[in-house]
Structure 1
Amino acid sequence: MNPSAPSAHSEGPSSADDLMDDWLFLSSESAEPQVLEVSRDEQEAEDRGRLKSKLVSAWNSVKYGWPLKQKSKFSKTSPVTMLGKSYELKYQGDREFFRRSFTSMLWLTYRRGFAPLAGCSLTTDSGWGCVLRTGQMLLAQGLLLHLMPPDWTWSVSHHAVKDDMDLKSRPAGRGQSFQEGPHNRSRKLSLGSLLDRPMEATHRRVVSWFADRPEAPFGIHHLVELGKSSGKKAGDWYGPSIVAHILRKAVAASADLPTLVVYVAQDCTVYLEDVKRLCERPSTHSWTSVIILVPVRLGGQDLNPAYITCVKKLLMLKCCIGIIGGKPKHSLFFVGFQGDHLLYLDPHYCQLTVDVKKENFPLESFHCNYPRKMSFSRMDPSCTIGFYAKSQKDFKSLCTVVNEALSTSADTYPMFIFAEGQSHEQVGGTRPTGVTYIQRKNERKRVDTSSSLDEFVLL
């Protein structure tokens, strides 16, 4: 990413000795998509369209007030937790493994220059599509767990890695470490690159599913089309709850994922019988892998402090695939934390669209170069939390460990719950439009939400 690119919610710099700057994963030259040779007239037309898109992006930047990117600082004395794994950054091995793990996640941002969205002339989602982009990243993380081997990472060995800090050697016997010294590390990364080659086709296929073209099952065009049934159209802001249901519909409509389903919790409740009915395949005596999405609202205008510990506990679980959420201007994809700061991927960076139909299309713009942090206090309470279970055994384990994490908010109301049986919708109940239900101990209470931005359960 260009160091001057916009980024939301970065915390200010610190002068403490135990802090280090973020690092550059990929060369800046590789960030831009390759452009095919075209005629002079075509080039002029393309330049005019590109200028128009840039003006639209610039206007949105002014309109939504995104600040210029500031550098995040990472402590060498405090571990970083990211989607179920912990990294001690004072050790070179852990720092290298954290780099590879972070940059392997798919980074899906605003794009410009794609085919016009149906029913309008928009060729960019800059300024309005951030929640759709974070939803894409949440789904993409689940797909990588579903399709890739455990602990798969995208090889970046052919790119320059900037690391000019004094690093302490990792103690022997800790595992997951890279050999010391530039030559030894280079050899090991090259070996990893060779081992990753069989998965490169799958990696590219997953990326292509999120491409900015009408045919892509999880691309912006299809997601906007699915959002019409929720009263949304291109240019609208999509809340985390609506995006969860759009992702469910997108996966259900895709012929590429016959062994994966998406379940969206109702009224902050995961109904176990509903999940069972969705995942069981009686004819084959098998169980379909499942992504569970839980829309919640963690307080009023600001995040309830009682839930911060609970959010940390959830991000420490291997079954967690991240959290999406944010205000209309600043939706982010949260993947971890360090101390009192959340680690996130930011979609608010408008890049040129990439032609994924081209053989060996560039992948660099789909992987983030810089980890970013923001204070928990700046997290918006409107969220959708994601989990993944590959098998029925994994789902039972998920229920156990998530319940343990949720118990940390027992003094208030739990963020969400697991319940036996089916939801009222599954047993034939109907829900009035604009009305949601809040579970308060043993009673259920009606609340009118028709004037709210999204359909969240207020805890």
Structure 2
Amino acid sequence: MTDLPERVVASEFPAGQSADSTDRERVAANSEQKASHNKSLKASFLSSFFASTLSIFETHPESHSGEKKATKSRSYGWTTAVKKVVAGGSMRRLQERLLGTSSTDALSLTSEIWLLGMRYKLSPEESSGGADHGNGSAAFLEDFSSRIWITYRKGFDAIGYSKLTSDVRWGCMIRSSQMLVAQALLFHHLGRYWRKPSQKPHDPKYIEILHLFGDSEACAFSLHNLLEAGKGYGLAAGSWLGPYAMCRTWETLARAKREQADLDREKESLPMAVYVVSGDEDGERGGAPVVCIDVAARLCSDFSKGQISWVPILLLVPLVLGLEKVNPRYIPLLWETFTFPQSLGILGGKPGTSTYIVGVQDDKALYLDPHEVQVAVDIKTDDLDADTSSYHCSTVRNLPLDLIDPSLAIGFYCRDKDDFEDFCTRASDLEDKSNGAPLFTVAQTIRSAKSVQHQDSLVDSLGGAGNSGMDDTFAGDNFRDCDAHSGDDEWQIL
């Protein structure tokens, strides 16, 4: 898919900066300090270099038509090679790191950032060394750059009969979903406060997680295995799919890997139940999905084969929040989901261009971009000194929340029953703030076989309600019955 227009954090952050022509004007205008002046000079020089290098691809009139054919023949191969280097991801990263200039729509140093359930209050005093960095830009960037970043790859084993060895231009939704699930695994095994250490050896669990997302059939959650699991939802090598089908693909793959692990203890599986909170046959009609507590309990019981009453849960909530654009009434609700401690972010982006949205600030969505093309790597589970740099990114890109595709999916990870109860309480509070148009709702039971809009076939297959070992913990006024949402107040696309 096509790349998103890039917007990156301001130069006040210590790493991952980007630049454009308007940035250089802004830096030049703020040359009161010597450091800023030097930065402007450096940006001007480097920008001239990049501009002059790129200019070789412009079309210029030929003064001697007889020379045109020969010149084109001699220079075509060289020009093509240089173009690939200059326009490629490596050169882009080099430019971002060397220019060190700020973006005209850079992140604010006075507004709070929410990153997957954690709040960071930035301060303008940090740049002068007068602030506590424990909760400022340095801490935010350390957290952001510790998130697992998964991108386009090239040079991996061919995908089945397709002979494709790269997912460039079509695999961004798959890569975005891999990032979301990878964060769930990080939170599960290492905790939300884990940060990537600067020294080796790495934590074995961290390496194991990266191995799971390698690009071969031997890796449990690889592109190859997701494509196989998603065949029933139209997923195929070289094609693109939406968030709903991607969530269903993960549900299918998790079930398949769980069954394999039951037969072979050496097989890897997802250590959590997957609950796709969605409805009708295609998941694209709108309507507020319902998180049914009894369904979650039944999934936990099934996952553990009745041995324990509760297990960790990965909640995936596909949504359609408008036709061509997200209806503005839902943007504050999307924003607030990032304040949930259970937040795993959003699969979203611009139409046809998927990203992994991990945070928000003001009216901006902060995301990890899967559109960087990198060479495939093979992280072995026992290689604690492996080079993992291609799985992390310190460039914080952003786009306006009101420009994201209305078709998206929100993810949540609930570690245990108490965590799930807290999630349900927060979700119900969010519903109360929605003025009759919630993102999703919470209910205790399913009392009727009648299908409610956006109640999915998975719920139907569970057959009835029952308390599934649930106590009265969730039986409060906050939670209604699932079939109570079929009335006049039912949410719909506006």
Answer whether TM exceeds 0.5 for this pair.
Answer: yes
Amino acid at match of 2:438: P
Determine if the alignment matches structure 1 residue 275 to structure 2 residue 300. no
Change (3 A) 1:443 1:75: closer
What whole-Å deviation, never above 9, does each CA across 1:144-163 have from its counterpart, x for those lacking one?
A: 1111134111113x5xxxxx
Higher helix share: 2
Change (3 A) 1:353 1:272: same
Please name the residue that 1:179 is paired with: none
Instruction: Find 2:193's aligned residue among 151, 159, 176.
Output: 151
Amino acid at match of 2:391: F
C-alpha root-mean-square deviation of aligned residues, in Å?
Answer: 3.3
Secondary structure in structure 2 of the residue aligned to 1:278: helix
Determine if the alignment matches structure 1 residue 242 to structure 2 residue 245. yes
Higher strand share: 1
Please name the residue that 1:77 is paired with: 110
Separation of aligned partners in 2, 1:304 and 1:258:
34
Alpha-carbon shift at residue 96 of structure 1 (Å)? 2.0
Alpha-carbon shift at residue 234 of structure 1 (Å)? 0.4
Alpha-carbon shift at residue 310 of structure 1 (Å)? 0.4
Please name the residue that 1:453 is paired with: none
Please name the residue that 1:442 is paired with: 487
Amino acid at match of 2:15: L
Alpha-carbon shift at residue 269 of structure 1 (Å)? 2.0
Please name the residue that 2:388 is paired with: 363
Change (3 A) 1:258 1:131: closer
Change (3 A) 1:327 1:79: closer
Secondary structure in structure 2 of the residue aligned to 1:323: strand
Alpha-carbon shift at residue 424 of structure 1 (Å)? 6.5
Please name the residue that 2:231 is paired with: 228
Separation of aligned partners in 2, 1:249 and 1:257:
12
Mean alpha-carbon deviation: is it higher for 89-98 or for 279-288? 279-288
Alpha-carbon shift at residue 225 of structure 1 (Å)? 0.8
Separation of aligned partners in 1, 2:166 and 2:16:
27
Amino acid at match of 1:383: L
Separation of aligned partners in 2, 1:370 and 1:318:
24
Separation of aligned partners in 2, 1:424 and 1:314:
22
Please name the residue that 2:334 is paired with: 311
Separation of aligned partners in 1, 2:15 and 2:208:
26
Determine if the alignment matches structure 1 residue 128 to structure 2 residue 167. no
Change (3 A) 1:25 1:428: closer
Alpha-carbon shift at residue 286 of structure 1 (Å)? 3.6
Separation of aligned partners in 1, 2:487 and 2:334:
25
Instruction: Find 1:387's aligned residue among 376, 401, 412.
Output: 412
Matches within 5 A, 1:241-390: 241-254=244-257, 255=261, 256-257=268-269, 259-267=271-279, 268-280=289-301, 281=304, 283-327=306-350, 329-357=352-380, 359=383, 360-390=385-415
Amino acid at match of 1:369: S
Contact 1:232 1:238 in 2 (8 A): yes
Contact 1:287 1:392 in 2 (8 A): yes
Alpha-carbon shift at residue 363 of structure 1 (Å)? 0.2
Structure 2 unaligned regions, length at least 5: 18-76, 97-101, 124-130, 262-267, 280-288, 447-454, 464-482
Please name the residue that 1:200 is paired with: 203
Separation of aligned partners in 2, 1:428 and 1:375:
40
Matches within 5 A, 1:34-73: 71=103, 73=106
Please name the residue that 2:4 is paired with: 8
Separation of aligned partners in 1, 2:305 and 2:227:
34
Please name the residue that 2:33 is paired with: none
Instruction: Find 2:157's aligned residue among 115, 127, 151.
Output: 115
Q: Tell me which structure has the larger Cα radius of gyration.
A: 2
Contact 2:427 2:441 in 1 (8 A): no
Separation of aligned partners in 1, 2:150 and 2:118:
22
Separation of aligned partners in 1, 2:486 and 2:411:
25
What whole-Å deviation, never above 9, does each CA across 1:72-117 have from its counterpart, x for those lacking one?
A: 6222111111111111222433222112111111000000110110
Separation of aligned partners in 2, 1:387 and 1:150:
13
Amino acid at match of 2:396: P
Secondary structure in structure 2 of the residue aligned to 1:127: coil
Secondary structure in structure 2 of the residue aligned to 1:142: helix
**Identical positions, percent:** 30
Separation of aligned partners in 2, 1:440 and 1:405:
16
Contact 1:296 1:458 in 2 (8 A): no
Secondary structure in structure 2 of the residue aligned to 1:276: helix
Separation of aligned partners in 1, 2:429 and 2:489:
24
Change (3 A) 1:296 1:251: same
Change (3 A) 1:107 1:439: farther
What whole-Å deviation, never above 9, does each CA across 1:185-220 have from its counterpart, x for those lacking one?
A: xxxxxxxx8xxx6x6111010001000111111110
Structure 1 unaligned regions, length at least 5: 1-5, 14-18, 27-50, 159-192, 431-437, 446-456
Secondary structure in structure 2 of the residue aligned to 1:348: coil
Secondary structure in structure 2 of the residue aligned to 1:406: helix
Separation of aligned partners in 2, 1:119 and 1:339:
46
Separation of aligned partners in 2, 1:123 and 1:439:
49
Contact 2:351 2:404 in 1 (8 A): no
Change (3 A) 1:297 1:391: same
Secondary structure in structure 2 of the residue aligned to 1:409: coil
Structure of higher RCO (CA pairs closer than 8 Å, 6+ residues apart): 1
Please name the residue that 2:54 is paired with: none
Separation of aligned partners in 2, 1:391 and 1:363:
30
Alpha-carbon shift at residue 441 of structure 1 (Å)? 4.8
Separation of aligned partners in 2, 1:424 and 1:118:
31
Separation of aligned partners in 2, 1:212 and 1:383:
25
Please name the residue that 1:24 is paired with: 15
Separation of aligned partners in 2, 1:235 and 1:210:
19
Instruction: Find 2:434's aligned residue among 390, 409, 423.
Output: 409
